[in-house]
Homo-oligomer: A and B are copies of this chain.
């Protein structure tokens, strides 16, 4: 197909496709003459993946690029590859020497502490933000989330066993990126439901300053 068909089929403007090619997110079509190149289904799949990550999840293109690189050339160790791919998803936290809050929480929850894994520093900075804001943070709060997440993760991870690494990277990234909003929306809906159902009384009408 030509670039204009790739554009209509993916819903991404031609100018943007050219931009993605320029930026190295999308491979060039196979040149068939001086002013003509052929794009295949794999280009379409690539564009849709980019759109899911950049458009739907709002990932910066630099992160999308990292993920695509891991799909194209996975690291030697599969767990490493999956970890890096998921690490390209937000939130983005700077590296540090140690993550004491995360380590304590992870040990308490019976998970694996691996400081190179992005989720460790995400957890650490999230806990720090909670403490700074004066919200509650203690083992009972931790296990409220850890228990729920352990249950969810077990079901999610199972299908990976039967995939190739490439497919697993796509599944892990898309699954992490796309199921997250579902989970968060359901949480907010559950809050809302508890309030409107009267199970929990709404707050006092307000203390006027």
A139 within 8 A of B: no
Q: Given the complex of chains A and B, what is the CA–CA distance between A193 and B102 in angstroms?
A: 14
- C-alpha spacing A15/B148, complex, angstroms: 43
Asked whether any CB of chain B lies closer than 8 Å to the CB of A200, the reply is yes
Cα(A185)–Cα(B125), bound, Å: 10
Q: List the number of copies, as a whole number.
A: 2
A86-123, CB < 8 A from B:
86, 90-91, 102, 106, 109, 111-112, 114, 117-120, 122-123
Report how far A118 CA is from B42 CA in the complex, Å: 35
> In the complex, what residues of B have CB within 8 A of residue A130's CB?
178-179, 182
List residues of chain B with CB within 8 A of the CB of A22. Answer: none
Considering the chains assembled together, what is the distance between the CA atoms of A112 and B58 in angstroms? 28
Provided the pairs A157-B194, A178-B126 are in contact, do residues A203 and B119 lie with their beta carbons within 8 angstroms?
no
Dominant secondary structure at the A interface: helix
**Nearest B residue to A205 by beta-carbon distance?**
B165
By the criterion of a CB under 8 Å from any partner CB, how many residues of chain A are at the interface?
A: 91
How far, in whole Å, are A190 and B189 apart by their CA atoms in the complex?
24
17 A-B contacts (beta carbon < 8 Å): A52-B132, A56-B125, A58-B90, A79-B192, A82-B195, A82-B203, A86-B188, A109-B189, A118-B188, A122-B181, A123-B182, A130-B179, A135-B178, A144-B155, A148-B148, A156-B191, A172-B191
Q: Which residues in A have some Cβ–Cβ distance to B below 8 Å?
A: 48-49, 52, 56-58, 74, 78-79, 82-83, 86, 90-91, 102, 106, 109, 111-112, 114, 117-120, 122-123, 125-127, 129-130, 132-133, 135, 144-158, 160-168, 171-172, 174-176, 178-197, 200-207
